[in-house]
Amino acid sequence: MRRFVFVGRLGAADNGAVPVVQPDATPVTVQFVAANKRLDYGIGNALQTLADLGLRRTETAIDLVIVAAMVNAADTRVSRSANAQDGWTRELDLVVPVREPDLWAAQGALLARTLRFLTGDHWRIVFRARPAPFATIATARPSLGLAEPDEVCLFSGGLDSLVGALDFLAGGGKPLLVSHYWDSETSKAQTLLLDLLRKNYKTNEPLSLR
């Protein structure tokens, strides 16, 4: 059984010491900043899409996305069969760079318990301050934008999320449909369904974030 600690980094200069969660854990670096100095793994593109829609992005919301990305990285990169103590349970630690470490630390235990319930793994999460060049990531909100959504709806391209989107739209709501995909077939399904929704609900056409 091997323990792992995933350390989030923001830029090449972010290479200092980080809090030690478990000394015997194998470190894995997750570098969030691409060569063009934008957030990588689709996060920078998502933030730009929100800006193009005229929607406000807060530093806390950006922190939440980084937390979620690190959870996803740990969950998808560590094999259960090769590293679990009982064929299933893994030891996963996260060191996450955030804008307000104290705010997040107050919720760290709850988040770890939630992840334990959802995945069956042992999680330990430590938060540290973002490095100075990335202390502020959110840019000013554009003065003009499209009408704001009144709901946020996960939109995988499957039946459940489609029904949820239809419920919002049929009730006159204007949802922001948030999608993520791993393969081209899922992307095609999302695109097809989004086009159909927009065709049939022109007065409250849904917005999309992919």
Average pLDDT over residues 23-37: 90
The secondary structure of 58-121 as a DSSP string is -HHHHHHHHHHHHHHHHHHHS-HHHH-SSSS--EEEEEEEES-HHHHHHHHHHHHHHHHHHHSS
Residue 128 pLDDT exceeds 60:
yes
Residue 54 pLDDT exceeds 90:
no
pLDDT tens, residue by residue, 13-25 = 999 999 888 899 9
- How is the beta sheet containing 207-209 ordered, strand by strand? 151-154, 175-178, 207-209
Residue 103 pLDDT exceeds 70:
yes
pLDDT given at position 143: 53
Band of pLDDT at residue 35, cut at 50, 70 and 90: confident
pLDDT tens, residue by residue, 146-163 = 568 888 999 999 999 999
Average pLDDT over residues 110-131: 97
Band of pLDDT at residue 11, cut at 50, 70 and 90: very high
Average pLDDT over residues 173-184: 89
pLDDT given at position 98: 98
Backbone angles phi, psi at 156, to 5 degrees: -80, -20
pLDDT given at position 140: 66
First-last CA distance in the chain: 36
Bridge partner list, 75: none
Of 28-37, 58-67, 79-88, 115-124, the range with the lowest mean pLDDT is 28-37
pLDDT given at position 165: 95
Residue 60 pLDDT exceeds 80:
yes
Sequence-separated contacts (24+) of 194-200 with Cβ below 8 Å = 194/155, 197/165, 197/166, 197/169
15-50 burial code (b ≥16 CB/10 A, e <16):
eeebeebeeebeeeebebbeeeeebebebbebbeeb
